[in-house]
Structure 1
Amino acid sequence: FCDFSAIPIMLVSVTLASCNLISDCSIRQLSYCKDLETLNLKGCKNVGDKGLEAIAGLGKLRTLNLNGLDISDEGLSRLGKGRTPLVFLSLRGCQRVSDTGIAALVDGPISHTLQSIDLSNILSLTDRAVLNLIRSGMRIVDMRLRDCCGVGDISVIALASMTFNGCGFGGTLRLLDLWNCKGVTLLSVGWFKKPYFPRLRWLG
């Protein structure tokens, strides 16, 4: 594995995209960087649930990219119960993640800080995942669901109906990506009209 024992502990941002030498052991060493705010592990195939457990202890981490990692619902549960004040989380293409994992993720304190989430290209996800995000009470600003074939009209209606601190129907949502969500039909079109989604600026 890649040895990080000698890296400066004052690091604030780290990008290790598509590095197959990075393992859970590497991430445990990296977790000593307590000032870390941004971590990009996109495509690091050898990082799994134990790595997420180490990441969960980073008390200043706000941005985390886990695209394409071999993580499961158990790992998301550990991350959600941790102390990371994440604002942005990308799980794009993490195929072992299911609706259950998303529910476990936002069942912990992470729901108080998380605002942007990318769940694109996770084939097992359904409307249940979106409903769990809404029920958690998180302030959803940016939601990306492209290529999630199990997501459909129920998610659109639920998002249109949610409110957050008096922000009206559609809450604080500014970006919504539903490209190639085959469950979204013409029924959803009417929900993108006033008074719904008053703050939406980008729709895919």
Structure 2
Amino acid sequence: ISDASCRQILLSSLNLHTFELLNSPWVTDLTFCDFSAIPIMLVSVTLASCNLISDCSIRQLSYCKDLETLNLKGCKNVGDKGLEAIAGLVKLRTLNLNGLDISDEGLSRLGKGRTPLVFLSLRGCQRVSDTGIAALVDGPISHTLQSIDLSNILSLTDRAVLNLIRSGMRIVDMRLRDCCGVGDISVIALASMTFNGCGFGGTLRLLDLWNCKGVTLLSVGWFKKPYFPRLRWLG
């Protein structure tokens, strides 16, 4: 599939709701050229592993003001400038940034934006650190964010989890798989948090700690009553 065929689909279907491309090595920024002049009604866009897509495409997609879901998993050429454009999407609730070359600066821009994210995945974003997570939830995004995937970010430590808890966000789903710097301190802090009278462990329903080498037997006792009353899945 090429830029020409993608543009033909988009321009001939202005009421298109969902657009999805997976592993399309020939699709470039030309597909989304001049979106500012086209009344596109897209609500969900997936561009997974489209490696020629860059920040330029994301800036054009930011003109789709009805966009609610954006999946950029594996788009290696999307970076911090793309996040700055995404920060202006006022209806976006689900954002997948797995494996992108983004940094703490980009997360700071996203956190200060107007995007009412509920789900955010940063899995494998190796330039992200504890500082970036703190900057992300230091803005209005902490009022809406409920599910976050920080798996396989090797530089993260317990400090990242503590910053999420301190932000006051309603944590429902937290994935920390393969975060070797996360340990018992995170488990104890999560078990001790409360949210609007929900008890110890707050609203947490899913917690993935697989291969978090800092988690020891000390944490086991914190998975008993009265802690984590709403937890339904533990990795």
The CA distance in 1 between the partners of 2:117 and 2:195, in whole Å, is 19
| Alignment partners' CA distance in 1, 2:38 and 2:175 | 34
How far off its partner does 1:8 sit? Answer: 5.0
TM-score (norm 1): 0.97
Match of 1:150 among 181, 204, 220: 181
Deviates more, 1:4-13 or 1:98-107: 4-13
RMSD: 1.3
The equivalent position to 2:52 in structure 1, one of 21, 44, 49, is: 21
Distance 1:2 1:69 in 2: 22
Structure 1 Cα separation of the partners of residues 97 and 50 of structure 2: 12
How many Å separate the matches in 1 of 2:37 and 2:195?
Answer: 45
Q: Specify whether residues 94 and 170 from structure 1 end up closer, same or farther in structure 2 by C-alpha distance, changes over 3 A only.
A: same
1:8–1:15 CA distance, 2 compared to 1 (3 A):
farther
1:79-103 alpha-carbon deviations (Å, 9 max, x no partner): 0000000000000000000000000
In 2, Cα distance between the equivalents of 1:20 and 1:5? Answer: 23
After superposition, the Cα gap between the structure-2 partners of 1:157 and 1:11, relative to the gap in structure 1 and judged at 3 Å, is same
Deviation at 1:5, TM superposition (A): 6.0
Structure 2 SS opposite 1:199: coil
CA drift of 1:7 comes to 6.3
Tell me if structure 1 keeps the 8 A contact 2:33–2:60. Answer: no
Change (3 A) 1:40 1:7: farther
| Relative contact order, higher structure (CA 8 A, sep 6+) | 1
1:70 to 76, 101, 112: 101
Question: Do the aligned partners of 1:73 and 1:96 also contact (CA within 8 Å) in 2?
Answer: yes
Gaps of 5+ in 1: none
Kindly state the Cα deviation for residue 9 of structure 1 after the two structures are TM-superposed: 2.2
Instruction: Kindly state the Cα deviation for residue 21 of structure 1 after the two structures are TM-superposed.
Output: 1.5
Other structure's SS at 2:95 match: strand
1:28-51 deviation line (CA, Å, top 9, x unaligned):
001000000000000000000000
SS in 1 for 2:70: strand
Aligned counterpart in structure 2 of residue 121 of structure 1, from 152, 155, 177: 152
TM-score by length of 2: 0.85
> Which residue in the other structure is 1:137 paired with?
168
Contact 1:66 1:91 in 2 (8 A): yes
> Is 2:35–2:63's contact at 8 Å kept on the other side of the alignment?
no
Structure 2: give runs of 5+ residues left out of the alignment.
1-31
CA distance in 1, matches of 2:57, 2:40: 14
| Change over 3 Å in CA distance of 1:2–1:95 after alignment to 2 | farther
1:150-189 deviations in Å (ceiling 9; x for gaps)? 0000000000000000000000000000000000000000
Secondary structure, counterpart of 2:35 in structure 1: coil
- Residue 3 of structure 1 corresponds to 34
Percent identical residues: 100
SS of residue paired to 2:74: coil
**Cα displacement string for residues 122-163 of structure 1 (whole angstroms, at most 9, x for unaligned residues):** 000000000000000000000000000000000000000000
Q: Which structure has the greater CA radius of gyration?
A: 2
Contact 2:36 2:63 (C-alpha < 8 Å) held by counterparts: no
Deviates more, 1:17-26 or 1:165-174: 17-26
